[in-house]
Structure 1
Amino acid sequence: MGTRLVLTSAATAVLMVGGVSAAAMAPKTGPAVKTGAEAAREKDCRATANSLPSSDNHIYLYTISNCENGHDAKDDSTADRDYGDGKGQIKDFDNRAGSLINHSDATVEFYTRTAYSDKGDRFCVRPGHYVTKLYMYGDGKDEAGNWSNSISSHRKVDPSKCKRFFGWRIN
């Protein structure tokens, strides 16, 4: 059996292998169908935020990037001084955030230390913004070298008080 090139039209050539075209030999498969779990994993922070009710006024924290697998913590109180103290709306979530959504109507500042301490590092997220991968941020110094798994507290602030902003607009 030989291989030959057959001209089927002026613009198309078909590779023939033993009298059968290579296209005919290719396996026939239908479109890839994603399961519910696969589709959920592919959802990103923008899609997740857009799926929330417009009246929802929370910040959402996720342990992994891209706001995947449903939120792990949320807060609508405008502040939580210690994610690990068992008080407030965010409990047992100290140093666990990998991504976040600010679905509130306030600018929120996040801190690497508890009690909004200036001894650590901090950043702000505007209302209606999200951060898909906290590990992409940081300046390489102390705990700010990697923001992922470094957040310990947050509070609502006046935007003029912020020294840096992270995040992308939801819309």
Structure 2
Amino acid sequence: MAVFIWTAKIDRRKTALVLVGAVVLCGAVLAAVFLGTRGTAASAAVSPKGVKTAEDRAAYLTAWGWQVPDDAAEVEELELPKEFGPEYDQYMSLQADQGFDLTKYAGKRIKRYTYDILNYPTGEAGVQAHLLICKNTVVAGEIVGEDFLHGLAMPG
């Protein structure tokens, strides 16, 4: 009968670093799993980056399920406030729920493209989509009706 004995010298600092790294990695995975639903709506539809042309904007809205004309009904150039006060809390929350963080664009000039929605589920007329774009990236968006405002996702 053969007996094998294996010995190893363990460096406690390296072992501690490996354990800390494993804990951090597990924490990141758990955070992604439990917090991953926030902001997935925007990324699930289509990437908000590289939205350069009228066709790109229409395709972006189409990816959310909206039918829109090829061209925007209105285009406005806006400057976002340097600081978002409490009056913006509800709007910022709506955008954050879609994965958008407008605080990154505070004080920047953006363009707001307004599109008429042709297929709102209730058949309501006058519903519009707003896309806020900075340097070919959608930074915010919403669907606006006479008595409502909601994110880009089709209500269901």
Does the TM-score normalized on the shorter chain lie above 0.5? no
TM-score w.r.t. length of structure 1: 0.24
Give 1 or 2: higher strand fraction: 1
TM-score w.r.t. length of structure 2: 0.26
Greater radius of gyration (CA): 1
